[in-house]
A = this chain, B = another copy of it.
């Protein structure tokens, strides 16, 4: 029941020169399920990544940070579903490393050149033996040529509670040269990315100086994954990795502020945002896609704080589910968002084009049927105008339905 979200087709995606992907069934948690993906990256690519701020970060997140810091050039990524390898202590770290060693050996690279990713149930031992046993088939599936179909396979291969695979792609001109950008993401629950999302991978054949990759990853995450929430639960495994393979024939981009840097950044941001919004559209039990836009704040941080208070309120989320214009719940959330000196008489509230509240009270011309009309839509924009300044920010979220409870009460069984 994803909201306006459709499975990607190979003819909508651009393959990225320098990236090959293979997917296989390793039987990690359940049989007959694509659960192991390898991404093979040609030598010479620049890679950056941002990871969860959850202090209970998973073993693979810890290993990713080490391996990226080692600076030997990333040559492969290894992604398993079915098990998050989080809350697994020292043994979890050893198992994550063992899978990197095995893939590195098969590819004849150093283990620091492999990035591991896991997603699934927390606090259960990673079946690393099954992952290692599955590697040859995954590498075999990657073959010798890149293709759009591989990205479709990968989008499917990294799904857990997702109901629709998520991929997005675009092309643009950089200094007169055609550059492709393609990405995939996964996630539906435990979604409140904080510097990264559950799993997001974005690749381009553009040439981006390695020293820019961290800045680029951060800028992309900030404008996309860090603006979505499903349930407010920041995952232990959030990882967002950006790969630039340097296969396009333009001069390397050495600053994101240069015209080429800006062009590429904006195009990548558009793709990243599509991937991030896809996670909300496929949010567990989601029936509505909601954009929360907060304007007139002193700075964007306080706008975001208010937007998240609304986005996380179970009362607001259930009202959206019910298409019930019980809009006082939104005002209540604005009020408890934590802005100590907020003056309620300065607040206006809009639902799409409907002016619901003015100066903190119900708008005299607001009619229940107008609110009802908007609430019945599957895509809704909530706009809060605070009248305190000129800053604004936007967060995307979904509603809270019976299906959400069903999914999360049954997830492991």
Residues of A within 8 A of B (CB): 53-57, 84, 86-92, 121-125, 189-190, 192, 194, 231-236, 312-315, 318-319, 321-322, 324, 326-329, 331-337, 339-340, 342-345, 347, 357, 359-362, 400-402, 404-406, 408-413
Distance A315 CA – B404 CA, assembled complex (angstroms) = 10
Is the CB–CB distance between A405 and B405 below 8 Å?
yes
Known contacts A328-B121, A345-B89; A56/B335 CB under 8 A: yes
Distance A87 CA – B384 CA, assembled complex (angstroms) = 14
Known contacts A53-B336, A234-B332, A332-B233; A322/B87 CB under 8 A: no
Question: Which of B57, B92, B324, B336 is within 8 Å of A233, CB to CB?
Answer: B336
Distance A56 CA – B348 CA, assembled complex (angstroms) = 12
Distance A361 CA – B236 CA, assembled complex (angstroms) = 13
With A54-B336, A314-B400, A314-B408 given, can you name 15 additional A-B contacts, CB distance below 8 Å? A55-B337, A55-B342, A56-B332, A56-B344, A87-B360, A87-B361, A87-B362, A89-B362, A92-B361, A122-B326, A124-B362, A236-B331, A319-B409, A322-B413, A405-B405
| 10 residue pairs A–B, Cβ–Cβ below 8 Å | A57-B344, A88-B362, A122-B329, A232-B313, A233-B314, A233-B329, A321-B409, A324-B411, A326-B412, A405-B405
Is the CB–CB distance between B315 and A231 below 8 Å?
yes
Is the CB–CB distance between A411 and B326 below 8 Å?
yes
Is the CB–CB distance between A318 and B87 below 8 Å?
no
Residues of B within 8 A of A402 (CB): 402, 405-406
Is the CB–CB distance between B401 and A86 below 8 Å?
no
**A335 to B, closest residue via Cβ:** B56
**A56 to B, closest residue via Cβ:** B335
Question: Which of B235, B318, B328 is within 8 Å of A332, CB to CB?
Answer: B235
Known contacts A189-B315, A315-B233, A336-B233; A331/B86 CB under 8 A: yes
Residues of B within 8 A of A360 (CB): 56, 87, 89
Tell me how far the C-beta of A287 lies from the nearest C-beta in chain B, rounded to whole angstroms. 11
Tell me how far the C-beta of A328 lies from the nearest C-beta in chain B, rounded to whole angstroms. 2
Residues of B within 8 A of A361 (CB): 87-92, 123
Is the CB–CB distance between A123 and B357 below 8 Å?
yes
Tell me how far the C-beta of A354 lies from the nearest C-beta in chain B, rounded to whole angstroms. 13
Distance A411 CA – B322 CA, assembled complex (angstroms) = 10
Distance A361 CA – B231 CA, assembled complex (angstroms) = 24
Q: Which 5 A-B residue pairings sit nearest by Cβ, starting from the closest?
A: A89-B361, A122-B328, A56-B335, A322-B409, A123-B328
**A89 to B, closest residue via Cβ:** B361
Distance A314 CA – B189 CA, assembled complex (angstroms) = 10
Distance A192 CA – B333 CA, assembled complex (angstroms) = 11
Distance A404 CA – B408 CA, assembled complex (angstroms) = 14
Residues of B within 8 A of A231 (CB): 313-315
Residues of B within 8 A of A331 (CB): 56, 86-87, 122-123, 236
Tell me how far the C-beta of A371 lies from the nearest C-beta in chain B, rounded to whole angstroms. 10
Tell me how far the C-beta of A407 lies from the nearest C-beta in chain B, rounded to whole angstroms. 8
**A322 to B, closest residue via Cβ:** B409
**A321 to B, closest residue via Cβ:** B409
**A192 to B, closest residue via Cβ:** B336
Is the CB–CB distance between B54 and A123 below 8 Å?
no
Residues of B within 8 A of A92 (CB): 361
Residues of B within 8 A of A332 (CB): 54, 56, 86-87, 122, 190, 233-236
**A194 to B, closest residue via Cβ:** B336
Tell me how far the C-beta of A304 lies from the nearest C-beta in chain B, rounded to whole angstroms. 15
Tell me how far the C-beta of A93 lies from the nearest C-beta in chain B, rounded to whole angstroms. 10
Interface centre among A88, A315, A321, A327 (most CB of B within 10 A): A315
Is the CB–CB distance between B232 and A335 below 8 Å?
no
Is the CB–CB distance between B89 and A315 below 8 Å?
no
